[in-house]
Structure 1
Amino acid sequence: MTFLILSQLLNGFALGMIYALVGVGLTLILGILNIPNFAHGALYAIGAYLTYTVARLTGSFYIAILIAPLGTVLIGLVLEHQGIRRLYSAHHDYQLLFLFAMALILQELIVIIWGPVGFSVMPPKALMGATNLGFVIYPTYRLALIVFTLIIIVTLTVFLTFTNLGAILRAGIEDREMASVLGINIDKMFLLTFGLGAWLAGLAGALATPILGLTPTMGLDILPISFVIVVVAGLGSVPGAIVAGILIGIAQGLTTIWWPQAANVVIYILMGLTIIARPQGLFGTR
C-alpha cells in the first residue's frame, strides 16, 4: 500500500505540473488583460495535436515539443491582435463571446484536420520504461516531465522576478492603468502576455500527450480545471497558480487510490473549500 501511495503521489505531482503550466498561462492573461480566456483549453489541445504531427514528420518528440508550442503562440498572437484587441473598448460580454466562439472553432478544426477519434502517443525511446527510485519503480517519462517542468517554472519565475520585462508584466497584473500612466505600452504588454500564456498552454499540451493521449475534447476537459487553479491560487498570483496546480494534481492522484470515481469531483471540492475559507485565494490579495 505504501508503494501505491508513493506512486500516486508522484503521478499527482507530474499531472499537477502540467496543470501548473496551464494555470500560470491563464493567470497571466486573466491578471493583465482582465479577460477569462475561454480559448485557453483549445490552445492546450492544439499544442498536443501539433506535437503529434511534428513528431510524425520529423521522427523526434524532442523537436516536436520545441516547435508545437510556437504554433500555439502564433495562434494566440493572431487571436489577440486581430480579435480581442478590436474588442477592448466594447462591452466585456463581446470579448467573452469571441473567445468562446474561437474555442469552439479551434475544437472543430481539430476534428476536421485530425479526425474525431482520439489516439495515444508513445514517449521517445530514451524515456520509455521505468526507473528504480529505491522506494518505487516509476515511469521514466513522467520523471523527465517533472524535471523539465520544474526547470520551466523556475526559469519563468526568474524571468518575472529579475528582468525588466517581467517587472512590467507584474506591474500590469497589479495595476494596468498605473502601468499605462507610467509610459508602458499596454498594447505590446497585452500581446506579449497572450503569447506567453498561449506558449505555456501549448507546452503543457505537448508534454501531456504521452500521458493523457489525444482527444478532440481535451481542451474542454482542461479548461474548467484551469479556472479552478486561478480561483484556488488567487487572481493574478503566478506562484499561487503553481502551488494550486500541484495541489490539485496530488489530490486527484491520492483520490484515485480510495475513490477513483471522485477523482474529478475533488477538484471542485477544493475550489469550494477555498472560496469559503479564503475567497481571495491562497496567494491572492484582491
Structure 2
Amino acid sequence: MDIFGAGLPALLSQLLIGLVNGSFYAILSLGLAVIFGLLNVINFAHGALFMLGAVLSWIAMSRWGLGYWPMLLLAPLVVGLFGMLIERLLLRRIYQLDHLYGLLLTLGLALLIEGGFRSVYGASGLPYDPPEALMGATDLGFMVLPNYRAWVVVASLAVCLATWYVIEKTPLGALLRAGTENPRLVEAFGINVPLMITLTYGFGVALAAFAGVLAAPVYQVSPLMGQNLIIVVFAVVVIGGMGSILGSILTGLGLGVIEGLTKVFYPEASSTVVFVIMAIVLLVRPAGLFGKDS
C-alpha cells in the first residue's frame, strides 16, 4: 500500500479510530490494575460492571429522562456503591486465599449480572445517542472525526492521568499502597484499612462504569457488551504488568493504535494482534513491560 498516496488518509483514520479504542482499553485496564495492584484480586466482573454503567445510562434515559451528563456522574457512583457492597459481603472473605478463588468468584458474579440483564432486555443492542453538545463532526482533511469520539479520548486521558497522579504522587496514594502491603502497621496509626480497601474497590469498578457511559453512544448498549472487550483488556493488563497503573494506561493506548494500524496493513490479524504481542511479551518479560520482577 502506498501510504503517501491514497493510503495515507486510511492510515491516519485508523490511527484515530485505534486511539478511541485504546482509550477504552486504557480506562478499563486502569480499573483492573487499581484493583489488582492494591487489593490483589483478579476482577473478572469488570466487563459486567462496564456493561452495567452503559445499561444504567440507557435505563435512566428511556425511563426517567436523565440525559448523558448526569449519568456520567451518577452511573459510576451507583456502580461504585454496588462494588463496595460486593467487596464487603464477598471479596473480603477470600483475600487470604489463592488468586483462583477471586477469579472464580468474580467470574460467577459477571455471569449472574449479565444473565440477569439479558433475561430482561435480551441480547440485541439498544441505541443510545450522544449528547446534543457533542453531535456533529470535524473535518480534519483526511477524515471526518465525530466530535463525540474526540471527547472520549480527552475524557479518558484526563481520568487516567488524574488516577495515576493520585495513586503514585500523593500522600493518599502512598497510604493506599502502604495499607495493602502492611495493613497492621497502617492501622496502628489510626487508619481504617478495611474501609480504605472497600473504597478502593468501589473506585476501581466506578472507572469501569465511567467507561461504560462513555461507550454507550459508540457501541450499542447490550448486556453482553462487556464480553467483547474484557478479554482484550486483560491482555492489556498482562502486557503492561499486573498492577502497574502507568503500564495499563500506556499499553492500552498503544495497543489500540497498533490494532488500528493492523486493520490497514493486515486486516485478518487485527483481532489477534494483541494476543500475539502478549505471548511475545510473556516470553521475553513475564512480569510485563512495566511490571516489577518478583
Q: What's the counterpart of residue 209 of structure 1? A: 216
Q: Partner letter of residue 214 of structure 2?
A: L
Query: Would you say the 8 A contact 1:54–1:63 is kept in 2?
Result: no
Q: 1:284 aligns with which of 258, 278, 291?
A: 291
Q: How does 1:1-286 map to 2 (within 5 A)?
A: 1-56=7-62, 57-90=64-97, 92-171=99-178, 176-183=180-187, 185-286=192-293
- Distance (whole Å) between structure 2 residues aligned to residue 256 and residue 125 of structure 1: 31
Shift of 1:8: 1.0
Q: Partner letter of residue 185 of structure 2?
A: V
Which moves more between the two structures, 223-232 or 259-268?
A: 259-268
Deviations 1:183-207 (CA, angstroms, capped at 9, x unpaired): 3543123212211110111111111
Deviations 1:4-44 (CA, angstroms, capped at 9, x unpaired): 11111111111111111100100111112212111111111
- Distance (whole Å) between structure 2 residues aligned to residue 230 and residue 122 of structure 1: 30
More helix by share: 1
Q: Partner letter of residue 275 of structure 1?
A: L
- Distance (whole Å) between structure 1 residues aligned to residue 153 and residue 96 of structure 2: 41
Q: Partner letter of residue 182 of structure 2?
A: M
- Distance (whole Å) between structure 1 residues aligned to residue 209 and residue 167 of structure 2: 19
Residues 1:82 and 1:59: Cα distance change in structure 2 (over 3 Å): closer
Q: Partner letter of residue 21 of structure 2?
A: L
Secondary structure of 1:138's counterpart equals: strand
Secondary structure of 2:243's counterpart equals: coil
Residues 1:91 and 1:269: Cα distance change in structure 2 (over 3 Å): closer
Q: Partner letter of residue 167 of structure 1?
A: A
Shift of 1:135: 4.8
Unaligned runs of 5+ in 2: 1-6
Query: Would you say the 8 A contact 1:55–1:63 is kept in 2?
Result: no
Secondary structure of 1:27's counterpart equals: helix
Secondary structure of 1:65's counterpart equals: helix
Shift of 1:103: 0.8
Unaligned runs of 5+ in 1: none
State how many pairs are aligned.
283
- Distance (whole Å) between structure 2 residues aligned to residue 170 and residue 7 of structure 1: 40
Secondary structure of 2:124's counterpart equals: coil
Q: What's the counterpart of residue 3 of structure 2? A: none
Query: Would you say the 8 A contact 1:232–1:282 is kept in 2?
Result: yes
